[in-house]
Structure 1
Amino acid sequence: MNCFRRYVVYFSIIHRLATLIHQHVADNHVDLFKRASDIDNLQNVLQAVEDKIRNLSISLSKVKKKIDTPHETLSTNVTHFKNLHITCAILRNISRVATLMKRIQSRSKDLCQCAMYVNELKFIFNNMEWEGIHVLESYNRALVQVRESMVSQAWSLINSSYELSDQTQLATGLQQLVGKYSKSEIPVKDKEGKRITEIQRQRNRWVEHFEEPSNRPTPLNPPNIEVAPADLPIAVTPSAIAKIRIAIKLIKSGKAAGTDDIPTEALKSDRSNCNHAPRSIQEDL
């Protein structure tokens, strides 16, 4: 009996709830239909957006393939050109080393010239990675032997110069031992203090070094430098006149090239200019 009553109560509650839902739908069916339509439209919009995203992803994949292939090809070519540049630099150094070694062998008696070749070879080996290259390793071993031979020759020249009282041999031997012909090995550094080994970067750093002073702003208080008189006093002594006469005779005869390294042939070709020297100088002499 109690179960029956309970079922009756449940049935009445369900019936009342169904009635309320039906009444609510009947009263608000237009609004509910509009919301359902909006949900359906939203689903359609989301589907369209998803399709566009999928198409865009496919297009991006195609563009990526079109870009990746030339990029990989370009990267490969750049790597090949870089390796080719390194190889050409090594080959140039090998060619230069071989040429210098041949010159050393052909001029083994000319100690001064051989010393210049040896120091150039030393400079080349110090500015490149030659380890692992069999040709350069063999040349480096030969260079060590040549340097040892030159040192022994220099000592023999020094010893013989003492016996013969020959200052020329003594100077030649000392030059080889002291290293008068060696190139400067002072490292070139950048503004941060790091050492620069590449030749082109060293040249660029030297250009920057000499351009910086010329590009400095003008000082606010420049120093007051007095202008020198136009006619500077020149002391013409008899000894100076004699030296000038000797110098003019040597220049006319083409026997003196002077301290400015002008070759004798150039002075001989310009002998007519010496003959037409200013009258004032000739009169003073």
Structure 2
Amino acid sequence: MSEHAADPATEAFLAHRSLLFTVAYEMLGSAADAEDVLQETWLRWAEADREQVRDQRAYLVRITTRQSLNRLRTVKRRREAYVGPWLPEPLLTAPDVAEDVELAENLSMALMLVLETLSPTERAVFVLREAFGVGYDEIAAAVDKSPAAVHQIAHRARKHVDARRPRNVVSPSAARAALDSFRRALETGDLQGFLDVLAPDVVLVSDGGGIKRAAPRPTVGADKVARFIVGGVGRAGVTVTCDPTVVNGNPGLLVRVNGELDGVIAIRVEDTRITGLYYVRNPEKLTHITSETPLTLR
């Protein structure tokens, strides 16, 4: 598309590309699927009668939403056959994204997992309304529902998410401090160090996708999580090093085993303790951590 930079259709699409990618990613939890959706959106935008389009941004968001819904219904079935726990594909994001509290919360691994529990239509309505502030009439056009129905769906989805989303969202600096304590414990195999930073009810979810070894189900409780990590590293007899980074707008770690990239850890912090650990090891999900992905809610 760069060859046609002067083309008004291309310029309009590129002007909103980061927004459209963010919409698709929040709905799908997969950068690869989001990129496919953007390609489909571009094809439909290129064929559209743009003289009849009053609001290009709204029109492009509508196309992206519809294509995301179609794909979401397909991947829902695919994820039911996924080996082990499924986690969203982590994205390397710019450090300033972490300072945007609204964006960072919407992109967090913890919230993205909560969104997985919604139906495709509920997820679309929730994401468009709560994250992007889209009006009910526009959402209704995007999901082929009446505005009244969208109101009801939005209320139901919000109630569902609020009952499961993290509470007591902490500052980026507090999250980084907790992560730094966790990093030191991980690199040294310090059991007490883990117990000092993990909340009593912490949950560890690891995603190997059947390609890398991972726990077949979530591990719950500080003692179990700490011993699982220390025991696993000890039995393997490896050297673990961690590089702090920003994952999905939140502090995270790039984990290396004997110098080779092993995976990405994202965390959820409430008060001063880590309540959620999300370890993505599936190499097919680690393609977007070598360069920053531009994301925006506006």
Between Structure 1 and Structure 2, the one with more helix by share is 1
What's the TM-score, normalizing by structure 2? 0.21
Q: TM-score, normalised by structure 1?
A: 0.21
| Larger RCO (CA within 8 A; separation ≥ 6) | 2
Question: Highest Rg: 1 or 2?
Answer: 1
